[in-house]
Chains A and B, each alone.
Chain A
Amino acid sequence: MSLTHKTAAELGRLVASRETSAVEVAQAHLDRIAEVDSKVSAFLHVDAERALAQARAVDERIARGEKLGPLAGVPIAHKDVFTTEDMPTTAGSKILEGWRPPYDATVTRRLREAGLVILGKTNLDEFAMGSSTENSAYGPSHNPWDLSRVPGGSSGGSSAAVASYQAPLSTGTDTGGSIRQPAAVTGIVGMKPTYGGSSRYGLIAFASSLDTPGPFARNVLDAALLQEAFSGHDEFDSTSIDAPVPPVVEAARQADVAGLRIGVVKEFGGEGYQPGVLARFHETVDLLESLGAKVVEVSCPTFGYALPAYYLIAPSECSSNLARFDAMRYGLRVGDDGTRSAEEVMALTRAAGFGPEVKRRIMLGTYALSSGYYDAYYGQAQKVRTLISRDFEAAFHQVDVLISPTTPTTAFPIGERADDPMAMYLADLCTIPSNLAGNAAISVPCGLADEDGLPVGLQIMAPVLGDDRCYRVGAAVEKAFDDRWGGPLLSKAPAL
């Protein structure tokens, strides 16, 4: 098997044992990028030279006998919403084209400290706002299963890179489903850790109270290894939780659901869901029962209000977070010809630099926070948020995890929903409650939909700081399906 098709855990082992070198591994992936990324467009920026230099440094440290972490020498694709001091950081926006941050995000720094080799920066919906990467100012990424379809979003470049074997691992951020939904529609694993479990410092903010960095991988254990590598308390992020990282790697190895109580969210399923998605989901429920789990139906009545609450809270926060892009200190500057006021330059720059979806959300949020509307919109949405958290709490008294389809449909064709924001927003229907409540949730592959042969994801939701449960159940499902299918789902994807 070529190096690009191995798991991250295996690559880490090979590099550590010097059976292969980190440089060889990096080169294999750079070659793969050169071969396929013209079709997939997963990357906005690839830096072969720096990647090889990082790989060389890892090889040297191993040669000196240093004991490095399990992912040392493993390549990774990094979502272009994390700052990197040696690479441009655009957040998928024209307004930051060419900007080179003077500092590394905490996640970036921890990747480097773990010896991961950053290949480049991946495409995303502008400022992580979207479910398809079509809102990227630099054009969409393509789904490796069907290049005419979206790879999900906003972290679609990261899901596409891993699903097309350009990298064994990638980072993402999940604000309303931006890791889980792209993982689901590309047939890979994507995890949204507990909010505050991974640092937001250096993550260009979309919605501060929701944004959560998380891992993508082609299997559950690799995802756990990556989450462990970059998680944990960060004094530069006040909202980061000062508690030990849940034992995610151990849980991924445990891969066993016997005796676990699993709740099927009653409200997710039915109208608006693709039949093939529901069929695979129901099959997975049966599978879990056959593995010894106790599956019950659980009602979470307020989950139906999650989407509208989210589309008040997230735009409100984004309207404020994105105010800093004003042409004064960095990024694009338009109309500064010596005759215009600062205010005019700000307005012209923002008009030219932001795409339509970003503008739509800034306007929505500005309106929702306005005096006289605050209570009816933002205030009310926060109350709904509290109710959703209570629904989760009540549910987790009854069961250990909740499950649902990750997303109501499989990957949709590029352009199909581009002019229909509401249809686009529905992609996040099942994922949003966990962002509002801040709990952990993962998406793992659970088969292909009959009608289009495209991947379907299973979402597993666990309580706050119960990330290990997501991995434990996810790994059990993965193991059972791998046995049934004779290998990972992704091996069924067409060659590029």
Chain B
Amino acid sequence: MSSTDTLMPYDEALERFEPVLGLETHVELGTASKMFCGCSTTFGAPPNTHVCPVCLALPGSLPVANAKAIESTIRIGLALNCSIAEWCRFARKNYFYPDMPKNYQISQYDEPLCTEGYLDVQVEGKTIRVEIERVHLEEDTGKSTHVGGATGRIQGADYSIVDYNRAGIPLVEIVTKPVEGTDRLAPEVARAYVTELRELLRSLGVSDVRMEEGSLRCDVNVSLMPRGSSEWGTRTETKNVNSLRSVERAVRGEIERQAAILADGGRIIQETRHFHEDTGATTSGRSKEEAQDYRYFPEPDLVPIAPDPAWVAELKAELPELPSVRRARLQAEWGVSDLDMAAMHNAGAIELVEATVAAGAPAADARKWWMGELARRANEGGTALTDLPITPGDVAKVTELVASGALNDKLARQVLEGVLAGEGTPEAVVESRGLRIVNDEGELSAIIDQVLAGNADAADKVRSGKIAAVGALVGGVMKASRGKADAGRARELILEKLGVEG
């Protein structure tokens, strides 16, 4: 289906249409136990080993709400500048599906725990305020695996198996209001929002926010309206978007797809679409034209949540420094430009630089190595900066060696290469590769004598006043020392030996 979709080139699409975004993010909380029972939430256990009468919905079992999960949800709401309900209830969302044991999900409907907040994100130097509609608490479903068939989807599968370990893990849903006015930056705004949200959740310590393991999942809503119109178009909801890059691609792809349909006089079908990591395309899923009736009603097995305002105020006072505030502080401390800070942020280098500075490196040097040599190598290897096999301590050591004159930048790059290749600590690499700068005056002097003897013409030119010719001689020394000589000192010594004032 996706392969036959016609796309309109992005620039053209943006000339004709204006996108409206919406993001729904599901976060699995990192509580020790599930939302309504005592089962472990640990990821990766053998199937159906973290289950009990409650999360399997055995007849007679009853849910008991996890207080820690409620606390985490309130903290998320507070960090997103939301109002916290003084009284709210869980609700049942009724629909049949084999991976949902009760055939209803305990969720929240018209009484969410947190409402009306915002999250500011930076894109291309601009601050964009993404408004938060609601933050509510619910439970995750089990995980179905469809075996046989070509697509791994239920259609065409021979059979399906269900793992209920995930069933009942606390899930927080964070829903934005429609985001308008992002114009051609819509994909970047979507990505920046999820990035910022992920950092915020991580700083709160409420979730491990691993998109690849599904502990952070994003549904992307996109609609288009013709330029000049103020009436929103029909939206689609793209699910299964499980990386930051995919968030951006999904928005871009959906804009291109919808633009082509609208330009051709077609209409957008309100539906769920599935994102495919490999192609970046989306395919049609469940149509929402005939909206499913979830028959929500207040969950009678649970008592209302009524957080004490004094406790909420306490939670608010105890919130950690939030990522955007921290970035502003670090930027001031490091004295870097907005652009450089944004680049570090996008590269995921801020924590690394901070840790390197903490290990004793000057901020400028730490930034130079992480955003220069190391970023280049990460890029070449297709890995994230954080995944490089080198620690901030290693980088700090290298800057220290350069500062002390033991290494020059060229040698330092070789040391980093050695560390990345698994040859050990920076000191070990210096030792094993013999990379220390030659600063033994006798050895250097001998090398210079040898070079001067072999380059009599150049030496004569320098003697006769053509100082510029010294470069060739220094180059010769560097070559002869295999780069380990201190070029500055070599120059001084050459001029001295030739009787010329530098």
Interface on A for B, CB 8 Å cutoff?
Answer: 82-83, 89, 91, 96, 99, 101-103, 105, 200-205, 207-209, 235-239, 316-317, 319-320, 323-326, 328-330, 342-343, 346, 366, 369-371, 374, 378
Contact = CB atoms under 8 A, between A and B. Distances in A.
Contacts of B96: 323, 326, 343, 346
Contacts of A89: 59-60
Contacts of B102: 323-324
A330 B103 contact: no
Contact of A329 (B56, B63, B295): B56
Contacts, number: 102
B421 interface: no
Contacts of A200: 62
A371 B293 contact: yes
A449 B160 CA distance: 61
Interface stretch (B133-141, B257-265, B300-308): B300-308
A324 B59 contact: yes
Interface in B476-493: none
Contact of B301 (A91, A238, A330): A238
26 contacts: A82-B60, A83-B59, A83-B60, A96-B59, A103-B58, A208-B301, A209-B300, A236-B64, A237-B64, A238-B302, A317-B300, A319-B295, A320-B94, A320-B104, A323-B102, A324-B101, A325-B59, A326-B98, A326-B103, A328-B162, A329-B57, A343-B96, A366-B295, A371-B293, A374-B297, A378-B297
Contact of A202 (B61, B65, B98, B302): B61
A201 to B, nearest CB: 5
A202 B102 CA distance: 15
Contact of A236 (B62, B94, B101, B293): B62
A124 B37 CA distance: 29
Contacts of A208: 300-301
B249 interface: no
Given A320-B104, A329-B57, A370 B62 contact: no
Tier of interface size on chain B = 20 to 34
Given A89-B59, A204-B60, A370 B293 contact: yes
B62 to A, nearest CB: 5
B103 A323 contact: yes
A396 B319 CA distance: 48
Interface in B414-431: none
Interface of A is mostly: loop
Interface in B448-492: none
Nearest to B52: A103
B53 interface: yes
A323 B94 contact: yes
A342 B100 CA distance: 13
B436 interface: no
A342 B97 CA distance: 8
A15 to B, nearest CB: 30
Contact of B60 (A201, A209, A323): A201
A29 B297 CA distance: 45
Contacts of B101: 324, 328-329
Contacts of B191: none
Contacts of B57: 324, 329
B48 to A, nearest CB: 10
Contacts of B58: 83, 101-103, 329-330
A323 B104 contact: yes
B50 interface: no
Most buried by B among A99, A324, A366: A324
B53 A239 contact: no
Nearest to A342: B98
Contacts of B303: 238-239
B235 interface: no
B92 interface: yes
A410 to B, nearest CB: 33
A-B interface, 8 closest residue pairs, ranked by CB to CB distance from nearest: A323-B103, A369-B295, A208-B300, A209-B300, A202-B60, A204-B59, A324-B57, A83-B60
Given A91-B59, A324-B59, A102 B53 contact: yes
Interface in B123-181: 160, 162
Nearest to A379: B297
B62 A103 contact: no
A20 B258 CA distance: 84
Interface string B37-73: 0000000000000000100111111111100000000
B301 A324 contact: no
B151 to A, nearest CB: 16
B501 to A, nearest CB: 90
Contacts of A324: 57, 59, 101-103
Contacts of A329: 56-58, 101
Nearest to B164: A329
A94 B371 CA distance: 68
A235 B64 CA distance: 8
The listed residue with most B CB atoms (<10 A of its CB), out of A207, A319, A325, A328, is: A328
Contact of B297 (A105, A204, A316, A326): A316
Interface string B89-115: 000101010100111100000000000
Contacts of B295: 319-320, 366, 369-371, 374
A238 B65 contact: yes
A106 B131 CA distance: 46
A195 to B, nearest CB: 11
A220 to B, nearest CB: 29
A238 B64 contact: yes
B291 to A, nearest CB: 8
B98 A328 contact: yes
Contacts of A366: 295
A342 B57 CA distance: 18
Contacts of B160: 342
A239 B298 CA distance: 14
Given A202-B61, A320-B295, A324-B103, 20 more contacts: A89-B59, A102-B53, A202-B60, A203-B60, A205-B59, A236-B64, A239-B300, A317-B300, A320-B92, A320-B297, A324-B57, A324-B59, A328-B98, A328-B101, A330-B58, A330-B59, A346-B96, A366-B295, A374-B296, A378-B297
A378 B300 CA distance: 13
A362 to B, nearest CB: 11
Contacts of B64: 235-238
Interface string B278-300: 00000000000000010111001
Contacts of A320: 92, 94, 104, 295, 297
A366 B92 CA distance: 13
A330 B160 CA distance: 17
Nearest to A104: B60
Contacts of B65: 238
A92 to B, nearest CB: 12
Given A320-B92, A323-B96, A328-B98, A369 B60 contact: no
A330 B162 CA distance: 14
A415 to B, nearest CB: 29
Contacts of B302: 238-239
A451 B57 CA distance: 48
Contacts of A374: 295-297
Contacts of B296: 369, 374
Nearest to A99: B59
A1 B343 CA distance: 93
Contacts of A204: 59-60
B301 A239 contact: yes
Nearest to A90: B59
Interface string B289-332: 00001011100111100000000000000000000000000000
Interface centre among A99, A101, A238, A317 (most CB of B within 10 A): A238
Contacts of B56: 329
B238 to A, nearest CB: 25
A43 B58 CA distance: 23
Nearest to A345: B98
Among the interface residues B64, B104, B300, which one has the most CB atoms of the partner chain A within 10 A? B300
A309 to B, nearest CB: 14
Interface string B355-369: 000000000000000
